[in-house]
Structure 1
Amino acid sequence: MNKIDAGTIVRTVVLFVALINQGLAAFGYSPLPFDDKQVEFFVSTLITAIMSLIAWWKNNNITRTARRNEEMLKREGLK
């Protein structure tokens, strides 16, 4: 009947992990064994990778629809 969406389950689990992490940090425990430089490097690398993929995807006609639209624009002299 009414099943719980997988996305709802994932968001709930992530929320509980974040709350546990915040609680441990509030009491002075370091639940994650990373120093600031490692976190900064990871976040910087992640942002670079995501933005590179987005730029690559947006500027290239990967999907069938995009290639078809590109051909139509060239036929109509709009590009």
Structure 2
Amino acid sequence: MSENHKIDLDLQKFIKAYEPNKYKVLKSGIEVRGITDIHRGLAFAKEVISRLKLKLSINHTAEMTVYGGFEVLVN
């Protein structure tokens, strides 16, 4: 991954624990893509955030379901 944004420490911890295959860096977080079982993927993401006590939140819309995606945002 090459980008010019500095990635928040909590976001780095999330990426390391969740190990997404594809993600896009956003100004306010990341967009995880290519999740085949979106319900399980969202549940695991919430579990990682809770377990590691990260200051992150998840944003998901019906439109994102089309490409198996959700956003992980820095609070």
TM-score greater than 0.5 by the shorter chain: no
TM-score (norm 2): 0.27
Query: By percentage of residues, which structure has more helix?
Result: 1
Query: By percentage of residues, which structure has more strand?
Result: 2
TM-score (norm 1): 0.26
Report which of the two structures shows the higher radius of gyration computed on alpha carbons. 1
Answer 1 or 2: higher relative contact order, Cα 8 Å, separation at least 6: 2
